[in-house]
Amino acid sequence: MKPLDELVRPNIRALKPYSTARDEYAGGEITTWLDANENPYDNGLNRYPDPHQRELKRRIAALKGVRASQLFLGNGSDEAIDLAYRIFCQPGRDNAVSIAPTYGMYRVAADTNDVELREVALGADFSLPTDALLAAADERTKLLWLCSPNNPTGNAFPTGEIERLLREFQGMVVLDEAYIDFAAEPGFLGRLDEFPNLIILQTFSKAWGMAGIRLGMAFASEPVAELFARVKYPYNINGPTQRSVAERLTADIAPQVAELRSERERLAQALAACPAVERVYPSDANFLLVRTAASDRLYDVLIAAGVIVRNRSRIPGCAGCLRMTIGRPEENDLLLQTVQNFRP
Ligand code: PMP
């Protein structure tokens, strides 16, 4: 990895972040809050939330076994994806590398920020093209996007290959672990201190079942986490979100994750036996990528049955593929029945 100072955009290095009304307050017995031009009448929402999300970060850090100072919280992990470009990539000048196919927001955020994104096609059976990813990088490559387990292919990449990229890539490696709770292997969070160029993204939208409240996490070295804190909007996580996630962190998500994984295996086996299905790709996520003989027609038939899946058949590398999220058992039954009865 290059020195962090060489990777960060000069304007971000020099940035003096916005200081909120409460930043200068060092604690003490305040009874009367007249500093932030809020409405004084309590309705549960009239005060600004903690801009640093201290209590929530303390609890998440304890749960994840990291230091709170290594954590950035965003409005979904989508916020962290956008901020990574804004911190590291000079528009019109720097570039990023990603695998393809992968999660679409790496492309959208690159285009929004006027940053060139170099996509490297996955290998046979969606294998990680490690050498080609390294070869695609040059002096101006700041970010490498890896999604593992990958969306939409569903597979997790081998630990040794990811390690090699972390060691040999000269910029920041953003490892998106949105689906890690459904995977067989544990992911890289426990090894954060080993790799100063590692940024791990996780989310409360999937295994935690809180897509509606929009909370994503980025884990990184302290200097990198501080850069995210510097460029974010002051109050990027609203009060109800901070409170409701803090309250739900004691929930045991393991039984639900186990059921979704077992449903995934049941569905994978049953779908593989359907006449219209050519291939069910192995999945470490809460969805299956399924190649079918007539994807557009099957998609329409599913819609007519009231079931919507994601048609990925026009994405390079995914011809004929539908991506099917694992639902509740009865929902999976309806999906399965419809696919079983479909004749290509
Ligand atoms: N990363 C991946 C790989 C995803 O598939 C998604 C959502 N589909 C996200 C990130 C975004 O998650 P969030 O809801 O935290 O913004």
DSSP string of 286-339, one letter each residue: SEEEEEESSHHHHHHHHHHTT---EE-TTSTT-TTEEEEE---HHHHHHHHHHH
Percent of residues, the chain, with pLDDT higher than 70: 100
Find the mean pLDDT for residues 240-253.
96
Q: State whether the beta carbon of 211 lies less than 6 angstroms from ligand 1.
A: yes
Q: Which of 49, 45, 50, 25 is nearest to 35 (CA)?
A: 25
Cα(90)–Cα(85) distance, rounded to whole angstroms?
Answer: 8
Q: Which of 316, 327, 337, 193 is nearest to 256 (CA)?
A: 327
Percent of residues, the chain, with pLDDT higher than 90: 95
Q: Is the pLDDT of residue 26 over 90?
A: no
> What CA–CA distances, in Å, run from 61 to 58, 217, 246, 268, 328?
5, 10, 12, 35, 30
Question: Dihedrals φ, ψ of 273, to 5°?
Answer: -90, 0
Q: Is the pLDDT of residue 25 over 80?
A: no
Q: Is the pLDDT of residue 114 over 80?
A: yes
- Tokens 């916020």: give the residue: 79
pLDDT band at 344 (very low <50, low <70, confident <90, very high): confident
Atom 13 in ligand 1: which residue has the minimum CA distance? 76
Atom 8 in ligand 1: which residue has the minimum CA distance? 103
Q: For 22-26, 53-57, 180-184, 309-313, which range has the lowest pLDDT when averaged over its residues?
A: 22-26
Position 20 scores a pLDDT of: 84
Q: State whether the beta carbon of 78 lies less than 6 angstroms from ligand 1.
A: yes
Query: What distance in angstroms lies between residue 109's CA and the mean position of ligand 1's atoms?
Result: 13
| Ligand 1 probe mutation, 60, 75, 77, most atoms within 8 A of CB | 77
pLDDT band at 24 (very low <50, low <70, confident <90, very high): confident
Atom of ligand 1 nearest to the CA of 203: 15
Q: Name the pTM for this structure.
A: 0.97
HSE (side-chain half, CA atoms, 13 Å) at 172? 31
* pLDDT tens column, 297-326: 999 999 999 999 999 999 999 999 999 999
Query: What distance in angstroms lies between residue 241's CA and the mean position of ligand 1's atoms?
Result: 17
For the beta sheet containing 310-311, the strands, ordered from the edge strand earlier in sequence to the opposite edge, are 277-280, 287-292, 321-325, 310-311
Atom of ligand 1 nearest to the CA of 215: 15
Q: Is the pLDDT of residue 242 over 90?
A: yes
Cα–Cα–Cα angle for 170, 66, 4, rounded to 5 degrees:
25
Atom of ligand 1 nearest to the CA of 205: 14
Higher per-residue confidence, 21 vs 93: 93
* pLDDT tens column, 60-80: 999 999 999 999 999 999 999
User: Cis peptide leading into 101, omega within 30 of 0?
Assistant: yes
